[in-house]
Structure 1
């Protein structure tokens, strides 16, 4: 709440939040933001993005949601398919050129089948 209030003080009127259990910061972000909105304490518009692995888990919305006030909505899903380039964990078709063993092609978080299912 303090961070959202500071955003408003600096002229930022909306934020995108990637809160989720995977990130370990808020146990049930939709409920927390909903309660703030219901109490009139949500100082700016929040677009909640749900991690794919948390969709429909009872802690996150299972589908698109929007509060009547328009201050809180959830219409997006974050899908992690691989790692990051900086850590040499982004999935590649060929090994990283700086890998001394020439074997590192990154890390897939989901199988090709799971990715297909997620975007279908």
Structure 2
């Protein structure tokens, strides 16, 4: 396991995409006040925007798992501007972790004040 990834939506334990992280090592949870969470229908999107915080779960994953997560999140490393999410590193209490940041405007989208989806 060589990467840490912080997830906040359908990849969290018990959610519909959590099976993708089967075999990953659960590291712990954190609260990230540098993010805001938005309701995108069947899944959430986080953007870099101060808030009371977003609850994340942090996992240690392999290169192969990270590539699978990139595919799920429509992140294209070779053309990030056209990606639905951008993958970037952010500090967590467990160390620096990859976080998928929503890459579209959120002006008309409902913000989730609770910070949890």
Q: Common fold, TM-score beyond 0.5?
A: no
> Whose helix proportion is higher, 1 or 2?
1
> Whose strand proportion is higher, 1 or 2?
2
TM range (shorter): under 0.3
Q: Normalising by structure 2, report the TM-score.
A: 0.23
Q: Normalising by structure 1, report the TM-score.
A: 0.22
User: Which of structures 1 and 2 has the larger relative contact order (alpha carbons within 8 angstroms, sep 6+)?
Assistant: 2
| Greater C-alpha Rg | 1
